[in-house]
Structure 1
Amino acid sequence: MDFPAPLVPATFVRRYKRFFADVVLADGTELTAHCPNPGAMLGLNTPGLPAWLSVSDNPKRKLSHTLELLEADGGLVGINTLLPNRLVAEALEAGTIPELAGYASVRREVKYGKASRVDFLLEDPVRGRCWLEVKNVHLMRTPGLAEFPDCVAARSTRHLEELADQVTAGDRAVALFVVQRTDCEAFSACADLDPAFARGLEAAAEAGVEVMAWACEVHPGEVTIRRALPWRP
């Protein structure tokens, strides 16, 4: 997925109130950017990290800049949690993920469970239905190991239960973890930060939910889903 315009380089100063990030542009201008990430952003809150921002010309926006990428551990990391759904939509159209290719139709934000909307519903007259939940991953504490979540994620745990219910009903269900960084070789649930989610992921897998993780190529001009990573329960 190409960014619609070149990203603006900056230096990260601080992140606060979850959705605000102070940065300094290359010319010394200080500004507040939108930070589209509700998580803890562990390892990515360090002042002085190189950052890249997108810029909107929408006059109705209070903040014209959005924090998209940070440089950490020697590589670029995508922090925008809204981006993975767009990346997956692109990958589904291109057939990048073989296990999810070949469905006749793809719908987004379809109601399911008690009060949820699944990210994607793939449907086919022969193959049936596949309920697909997408999660953004940017945490790496052990070199090469991507982890999710980086804080307690009760909503994500509920999604796993709802995916398992779809399998029980006779459909296919997939939990897809999109790793917005290039330096990981495996994926694992973060059991020490959210033991309920880790248990929930294993329980969902035992119920028949397919667990997939795919790493991205991350550049200032584009972010693209590229390669599968093994899941380490």
Structure 2
Amino acid sequence: MVYSIQNNAAYINGSKGIYDGKINDNSVRYGRNAAANHFEYLEKLSGKKAKNTDSFKFSDKNYGNLLKTKLVEASSEKLIKETDNFLKSLPPLDFEYQYMPDSTNGKNIDKMALLGAAFEEMGKKLSIPVQELTQKLKTSFKNADASAFDINKDGKVDNAEYSTSILVSDMLSKGEELEASKIDGKINNNGLYKILQYTNAKNLAAASKNLADIYNAYNLGEAQKAFEANTNNLLDIEA
């Protein structure tokens, strides 16, 4: 299992994962493992991979008979038990996603772990066009606009720029204010939800300034160059 459970919350980190023995840099491996594990947690939470869920195709000639059968089964103890077992198999809704190793703080962030997590979260891409990222965000939030993350205004959001969203989520996981001292490499439900305000087109000006300040404060552009220089950091084990 890619997470542990404590006090009815899921705890996800990068200490183990699919990149063990494949990514050489300890920090990059941790960040990529953590992001991959977080994705798996979210997939399990959504029930996408559950084998005991099914759906019917309306074009099926036997749909009427199948529906009748399903309605009969719905009242059976067997299906009730299966449904109950399925719900119990889902992970807790509350989570803590640790994308950087322990001993991380606002003055000493692990940039390679951060960029590793960003690379994995971006679908193993070094950059995404702003419009493409905006469309992806709009599937969850109709007023989304990813322009604030395009810090250098080149029409793309690269790993370093995207990583500012991770740091913001980290800070907002501890409260309402953006304070670097709060960074500890961990994100919870609150932080992940609050980052949505940075994708709201109405908040573009303020969001752009805050993200640019974070980007410059941690010199993430230079860190990105070092990250890209090691091709092993960019390994795609599915390729």
| TM-score, structure 2 normalization | 0.24
Q: Which protein is bigger by CA-based radius of gyration? A: 2
More strand by share: 1
More helix by share: 2
| TM-score, structure 1 normalization | 0.25
